[in-house]
Structure 1
Amino acid sequence: MNTPEATPLQQLLRKLRQFEIRIRQAVDAQLQGDFHSVFKGTGLEFDDVRLYQYGDEVRAIDWAVSSKGHGTFVKTYKEEREQQVLLLLDVSASQRVGAEGRRKLDVGREICGILALTAARQSAQLGILAFSNQKELYMPPGKGIRHAYALIKSLFDLEPRSPSTAVAAGIKQALGLLKRRTVVVLISDFIDTAYERELTMLARKHDLVVVQLLDRREREFPSLGIVPLHDQETNRTVWVNTSSATFRARYRATYEQNREQISQICRRHRTEFLSITTDADYLPQLVNLFRRRNQRGNRG
């Protein structure tokens, strides 16, 4: 009896499940604990007050209650019970750079798929907003494995309508949609300008993780002589001498400047930042990210 050949979507899901297992095993091995707080946020909500004890921080004192003369009281907090996660994915034309099956967009989709499956197993609410210079796909946060599979299929089937990029506009859309503190995973190559103000607002209001996707072709352009180069986002074609030292230096400088710009912004706002190249195994970087979040959560 012949076994029917798996569809592309089934192959993708199988691959994502294998990735998820690798991550869970690696995190469990390093933490010697449960893989339970990948999406643990930093948001806390007020719970109650109790009498001050030696060692409590002064800034935790509730002066309004303490002023009533019954003793010194401090505020206590509890972790937000149900974590909400939003994947914010750039699907503009510059994300299609890379080898077949390993384009920036392919890697971005894989990362979203892994996080969706992980969220489903942690009972976290997870949604997605895919953007170019407009909203291309939005699925509000939901729970469960069916929701995760539906999200992955929608993202896999997505054919963006616009080739252009507007990171600032994508962030504005997300800010308008989010009504409570959320873990936001922003995935883009950040080949754009004038998005720092919006990124700053996102970092201040939410628990932000920034993932920059890069392809080695963007750093070292092959020496091909005089060739036509087509910009997919502007639909313009220009002839350039790719063997020229001036062109190659300018090309490399643009790449490094783009990479350093987003890195500096994230450092300034103490935001988690990953720089991932399409030809590398990115799973160890995700494991390190999850480990840091686990350790931060365990420290309270």
Structure 2
Amino acid sequence: MSPSKGRRSPSEGGRGAAAPGASGTGEPRALLTPALMARVRQIQIRTHKLVNTGLSGGYRSTFRGQGIEFEEVRPYQPGDEVRAIDWNVTARTGEPYIKSYREERQLTIHLCVDTSLELDFATFGETKRDAASEVAALISFVGIRHQDRIGLTLFGREPGLHLGPGRQSRHVLRMIREIQAAPITPGPSSLKDLLEGQEATLHKRSMVFVISDFSGVGADGSERGDRGWVEALSRLSRRHDVIAIRLVDRFEEELPATGIVRLARMEDGAVRDIDGRKPRVREAWAKAASARKEALAAVFRQARTEWIDMRTDGDLGAPLVRFFRQRVQGPRGGQGGVQSGGGKAR
């Protein structure tokens, strides 16, 4: 349950026109309106400076490509690795030949963004959906700067729009538009369905960012009583680099001591009142939030998945920079996560 701050629909502000999309996607396009265009432009401006500074260098140091590709068979030269000899060609020609390979430097990155009703929530700072748009923009713009390909999958209670990978600025701008304009899906998102869908469709090793508030995961680590999402995450992490980004509103961790707070459950509208003036109430609130957070961390460690916690009331780029630095210094595998605090300066 959470108090909600109203969010203006992307369709407000005029009739608008269909947004151009990536050729060949066959997907419906977000309706372009003055309000939506202004918001996308705002996100583009806010992310531009960070992409041009420390984030870009940290990104390339962190993500170097996903392996090696066969390049050619060529004559053996002194100093070449003996184990690289192609014995079939050598036997056929009577001269030693080796297989040469080159490092695959380009990445394919898939952004999976939650568009369920809970993401249209804010008490301090921006809504989680706006934060998700900004984080997706940061990753995407720095990715295409390094010629990497970025794809998008929106998910909620049911599978949403999917855009295949692209590496042009207009492709990234469309991705931001689609996140902002995605229909609000009632009910909690299904992580299990998302992860199983990614497992079935991603054949080449990729980077997968899951951007969500993970509000459907309880203190026992299950998704509404079902731990199937944990197994799906583990399988996906064995084949791909999976990074979970959890968006957190300040209210969810710190109950304000301002008096009676009315909470409304987004799924069914059920309400109840709590008294934030009582220290024991605030303490219980913080304890419950900590239990949910630790349950998620335990799942990510079990699945060997890295994760980043982001507060929506502060600088969203700083946790990404810290994550990139931490990833360079330590091994991959969900052995730790990056956390952020709230406030205007961090």
Report the TM-score range of the alignment, normalised by the length of the smaller protein.
0.7 to 0.9
Cα distance in 1 for partners of 2:109, 2:149 equals 6
Aligned 1:1-300 pairs, distance under 5 A:
7-27=35-55, 36=60, 39-45=63-69, 78-99=102-123, 102-191=126-215, 192=217, 193=223, 194=227, 195-223=229-257, 228-240=262-274, 247-292=281-326
Matched residue type, 1:144: Q
Structure 2, unaligned runs of 5 or more: 1-33, 91-97, 218-222, 332-346
Q: Displacement of 1:116 after TM fit?
A: 2.2
Share of identical aligned residues, percent? 25
Using the size of structure 1 for normalisation, the TM-score is 0.76
Closer, same or farther in 2 for the Cα pair 1:249/1:48, shift >3 Å? farther
Q: Displacement of 1:153 after TM fit?
A: 1.4
Structure 1, unaligned runs of 5 or more: 1-5, 69-73
Matched residue type, 2:122: G
SS for the counterpart of 1:266 is helix
- Is the CA contact 1:136–1:160 (under 8 Å) kept in the aligned structure 2? no
Show CA shifts across 1:252-290 (max 9, x none): 222112211222333344433211111121212212333
SS for the counterpart of 1:40 is coil
Cα distance in 2 for partners of 1:232, 1:143 equals 37
Aligned length: 282
Moved more, 126-135 or 35-44: 35-44
Cα distance in 2 for partners of 1:254, 1:144 equals 43
Say what the alpha-carbon RMSD is for the aligned residues: 3.9
- Is the CA contact 1:83–1:124 (under 8 Å) kept in the aligned structure 2? yes
Moved more, 91-100 or 37-46: 37-46
Moved more, 162-171 or 245-254: 245-254
Closer, same or farther in 2 for the Cα pair 1:49/1:293, shift >3 Å? farther
Cα distance in 1 for partners of 2:55, 2:108 equals 21
Closer, same or farther in 2 for the Cα pair 1:11/1:248, shift >3 Å? closer
Q: Displacement of 1:106 after TM fit?
A: 1.4
Q: Which has the higher helix share?
A: 1
Using the size of structure 2 for normalisation, the TM-score is 0.67
